[in-house]
Amino acid sequence: MSLPSPAASPSLKPTELISASRKRQRSQSMQSDSSSSIKRSASEGPSSATPIPIMTDPISSIDSAREREIEIDAYMAEQGEEDIPTLPGSLTIEQKVARIKYLRDKPMVAGDTWYIISRQWFRPWEIACGILSDKSLESLQEKDIGPPDNSSLFDSQGNLTSNLVEHIDVEFLPEEAWSELVAWYGQPINPLPRTVIAKAFLQTALELRPPRLKVLVLKDLGPDADIAGPPHSYVTVSIKDPMKTLFKALVSAVSARSNAPYRIWKIEPGEFSGSHFPASKLASWGAELVSEGIDKTVEDNMIEPEDPFVVEFQEDGVWIVDASQVVRAPPPSAVHVPPPLFSNDNDFFSRLSNQRTSAFQNTEPFRTPSPSRRGSSSKAKESSVAPFKSFGFSKGSSKIIQEPGTLGLGNMGNTCFMNSALQCLAHTKELTHYFLSGVYQEELNPDNPLGMHGAIAEAFGLLLHRIWARDSTSTSYSPREFKSQLQRFAPQFSGYQQHDSQELVAFLLDGLHEDLNRVLKKPYVEKPDWEGGGDLELAKLAQTSWDGYMKRNDSVIVDLFQGQYQSTLVCPECEKVSITFDPFMYLTLPLPVNKKWWHVIHYVPWDPSLPHRRVPVETGRNSSFKDLKNLLGRWMGVKPKKLLTLEVFNHRFYKNLDDNVLCGDMVDNDQIFCFELPCNSRQSRSYKPKENDPFILPVILTDVIPSRPAYSNYSRGTNNFGCPFIVVVERDQAKSEDAMYDAVIERLQRWTIHDRDLYTWQADPSPSDAVTIPISTVSPIDSVAEIKENGDVSEVDGMVIESDIADQRNLGEDDSGMEPDAYIVGTKQGVFNLRLYTGYKDYTAGGYGSSNGRSEQWETRIEDMGSGAPLLKEGDAFLCEFDENMKAYYFGTSQFENSRWDEWPPFIHPEYSKAKEAAVAQKSKGITLDDCLAEFTKEEQLGEDDLWYCPRCKKHQQATKKFDLWKVPDILAVHLKRFSNSRTLRDKIDTFVDFPIEDLDLTALVGERRVGTRLAQDGVDINELGIRDVKEPLIYDLYAVDEHLGGLGGGHYRAYALNHVTEQWYHFDDSYVTRSDASHAVNSNAYLLFYKRRSNAPLGGKTNEKIEEADRKAAAEVEEEIPAEPEVQLPTPPSESGATPFPFPSTQQHNNVGYLTPRSNTRSTPTSSPPPLDDGDPTTLEAQSDDLIAEDVLTLCPLDLASQQFDFPDPPGRASPTSSVEVEPDYDDDPPRSSLFRAHANIDSWVGSSQNGLPSPAVSDPDTNPFSDMNLQKSADDSMDI
């Protein structure tokens, strides 16, 4: 079935694009005299046209021309003229580039329409116009550009791909710019108009992925009819569109009866074989009527991509179905979110849950997209006891209670980044206990201007209640409410674009911290300075900094996640030391991989007698070419400022590699040349030009260039060959064409074996015939040498001779055919034609698409510059034209056997050899988390763009900086920096990093422990310094991993997490949840690591004290409300003797049994979470009085239910999604819980059994058995259909 393009959107205003064809040649009419009439200018031929000037205001000029074209169209239509296609040459390339640039600089305004254009089309256009350069598309011209094409953004099924990253995959164009491209290059392929939407805080953004919705029409097809009819339609709307706009779009998609009465049903997501939806299936598909609402938008109603809607029209004034007979599913708040302990019906959860009044039905533990999974009929749905029967305890039901913490999170369209992060945080035991105990409600800080008015904390708390529900039968839930609050305060996460999971974790932790900040009014705190001293002063500074931070920040996030690092700066000049202490919430660790840049540099010395060499180098990927030149200068014994680095491609200079270019921006096959110059290379942006600076020109060798037509603005294409090189021309030399020719000859001689034949020689000279010629050039004073008749070279004006032709070659060789005493009398004329070219900014050919710039005649230049003035300008270049014979003699034929272009003897420096050996050793060792920590704490020098102001030197310095861990938190979140960002390259590092599951020891890396230990040995009271338990090792255990599969800008996120109730690891792939093993989390996709500190005392500090107090109050309240029950004991299953109790029950009392540490089943200190307390069991009469409970419920034994296997899919048997684009159905459809079952189905006391997939009671003591009142009931194994 062919799917419509997602570009089609009723909410987007259609744009009437300008046709690519015009009546006759518009450029002719546009160029005619303004006084002429429109008819005349339209009918006159080319002879009457005048050249159009370059526009200073591209907007006004082109818009007025466009108005003329419209009038011409009308006139030509009257005359009956045929369409004549317009060539793209009606505007020059410069004008088109200026026009598009001007339009793209316009800001986005909410409500405007912009267009998405694929980089696969836009980049070749930029290359053809000369905006960019590309070696593989060197010959591309504007005439080769086809119409705008977005085909590359769609898959084979016509769906938009997941990657829409600006400047990487796509570009954004305003409607006017898109219209221009269409007018110039033809009708577009797969246009993608998008609406600019307003976001929070006066921000606007382009809605890249407007939701595409399915639309069907309701039909009365009979009681047992299936979905039929033609394929259903789609509509695409904006999330900011009002519901009224959505309604109109839905109706228009299925019928032309826009005036007929209609109403809209929203049904459960799924796949539909047709567009005719049977009325009898509305109830089974969880249908609910949708109201237009006042001022409600699509986003407000939490409508998501691929949501299905059914349009019902009245037939003969009567609705097809009676809405009152369609029983809706219960709201999510009644499904698996028990009410908070300390709240009422007006709490946040109730208010937020009531915004969405439906949930979809589910009868299997894992989702299947086929609607055939629904086994209940509409009649059953209408039964008053049906909601409770679907809970899993009535005959004919197949639902079972899920383990707490195993709820999958549905993908709502590229929300896997959010789902994986939420699963990791939700499985942070101490954080979850804090929210489930209700303490967070007492600490909400809605008036904090830095917070989110408590909304983020409340939404997160609601989500945790769902995930850790004790009696949930749902296997997945779509966190719509949380996403709604998230994008409300963080507009960067709105829409359905992929985002970075780490950025979400950072925002969420910071948002929770501010929403729950116990400091209501933040005082001003001045940051202390380091005044010098030893360990004691350092510890005092650290404690003062931490105390100052705590005066403004005090929350559960600080107690659990925040540590402190030490930053040390040292001035390289005065050695001033600056130490500061700052908090951190997570550690971003660089990966010590791909940090080195290996390349071969083609080094060309200025002295022609020295060979050019191949120099392999090794430096940091983030090093600049300034650093590279410092390295080469040290190795070659030259000043780095006299080195010129350029990239060579296609026999010419391709890129100026100045001091600010990063080495990592160059790829392996790039040819990099480094030329030694006799003057400053002027590649530093800080260089200030001088009046006597010589000219530095590129020289390109080429075949004889055909003459160009007089009317052409550009040069003909050239056939370049050989290696380009650099010539330095002094200003006095630049006054003479012959002197410039001699300077080029001097540089050319190193590239041919017939270098002697570049000069004219004379034998048996007389002393009077001695000739003085310049041999080499130095700056700023000319260097000349006198060659005597015997070949000796004497120095003139005391200048040092850098090179000499006579010294370079053995003039006495007999095979030269010259006399032993021959000497040079001048350069040989006519070896090549020296051509002058312009447009070589930064040694590369500028101009829009021209490969060699523009040629200029010497006569024209002499006339322009005047007599006696230098004939060269900045941006000039020399092209040396060789005819066929000269080229063959000096360089050879096709094999260039007479050239020295391939003679590059290697130069291996000892530093390079040692670096190579170290790299081989590191590769064999592999990368560990310890290596990443060592890289993080390694000392480095600040860059030129990140200077530090030294208070002692009173100036900015490139100081050395070093980070150290001073204080580590109880929960350590580690961010492996896999995504690298350079100026031209964004990439992901997929290298495997080995990290421990248990026993991550950070003791040696934490400065507080080292300093505290030394101070304690010296007798200092370290408790006054806030340092405690220095003898307890800082050992961490892994409990969650957030992983990323795929490349940059797309891919898919998944999570591994340890369930602290059952001590079982699970793999969370959006809504798919499977049992796993901790070892599976250690892979090359690991992105975020979550570690918990192993301790003999409870974690969390002040937060833990508040939780324990809340638990004691809750236990006391329960004891007062629930009367004692007779104790009935069940035998304990032998396999469950070592079971682990639920660590954070909602109602508990302390005892002396103790609590379990995450790594062991042995008892530890009793000051943390105790085992659960009996909630108190109601009598059978009280149970029967609950009108929501069916009679057969009291005949069931929950232990029989617990014996059922937990039906998880086998991970190898199902391929995991490789993309997160798809939107998953939401099966959060559990009916309301009875108060009886909610009080007794206490999964807090359940643990995982080695034999059963579901938890089993931990002990047989009736005080801890939630089902003690049901133990004597008859087993219903045979009667229950589970």
Residues with a catalytic annotation lie at 416, 1052
Q: Which residues of 376-414 are buried (b: 16+ CB within 10 A; e: fewer)?
A: bbbebbeeeebbbbbbbbbeebebbbbbbbbbbbbbbbb
Residue type, 1279: S
Residue 780, preceding peptide bond in cis (omega within 30° of 0): yes
Q: What is the DSSP letter of 318?
A: B
- Whether 1232 and 387 have beta carbons less than 8 Å apart is answered as yes
Positions of E strands within 200-282: 203-206, 212-219, 233-236, 262-266, 276-278
- Whether 240 and 204 have beta carbons less than 8 Å apart is answered as no
Q: How far apart are CA 995 and CA 591, in angstroms?
A: 12
Alpha carbons within 13 A on the beta-carbon side of 1169: 26
Query: Is the dihedral angle over the CA atoms 1271, 1272, 1278, 1279 positive or is it negative?
Result: negative
How far is residue 806 from each of residues 619, 764, 773, 798, 801, measured CA to CA in Å? 39, 16, 12, 19, 12
Dig out the tokens for 168 from the structure.
């990487």
> How do strand 948-950 and strand 854-856 relate by DSSP bridges?
unpaired
- Burial degree of 486 (CB within 10 A; 0-12, 13-18, 19+): buried
Query: What is the SS3 assignment for 807?
Result: helix
The answer for residues whose C-beta is within 8 angstroms of residue 193's C-beta and 6 or more apart is 7, 9, 12, 15, 113, 114, 115, 175
> How do strand 960-967 and strand 563-570 relate by DSSP bridges?
antiparallel
Q: How far apart are CA 96 and CA 94, in angstroms?
A: 6
Q: Please state the φ and ψ torsions of residue 423, each to the nearest 5 degrees.
A: -65, -40
Query: What is the SS3 assignment for 235?
Result: strand
Residue type, 744: V
The alpha carbon of residue 845 and the mean position of all alpha carbons in its chain are separated, in whole angstroms, by 34
How far is residue 926 from each of residues 223, 929, 993, 1044, 1046, measured CA to CA in Å? 65, 10, 8, 21, 22
- Whether 273 and 228 have beta carbons less than 8 Å apart is answered as yes
Q: What is the DSSP string of 708-766?
A: PPTT-SSPPP--EEEEEEEEEE-TTGGG-HHHHHHHHHHHHGGGBTTGGGGEEEESS--
Nearest CA to 491 among 97, 204, 98? Answer: 204
Q: What is the DSSP string of 1067-1095?
A: EEETTEEEEE-GGGG-STTEEEEEEEE--
Nearest CA to 993 among 1083, 868, 905, 1055? Answer: 1083
Nearest CA to 733 among 769, 773, 700? Answer: 773
User: Of all helices (H) and strands (E), which one includes residue 1064?
Assistant: strand 1064-1069
Residue type, 133: S
Dig out the tokens for 213 from the structure.
């919705």
Nearest CA to 239 among 198, 185, 278, 270? Answer: 198
Q: How far apart are CA 289 and CA 1090, in angstroms?
A: 43
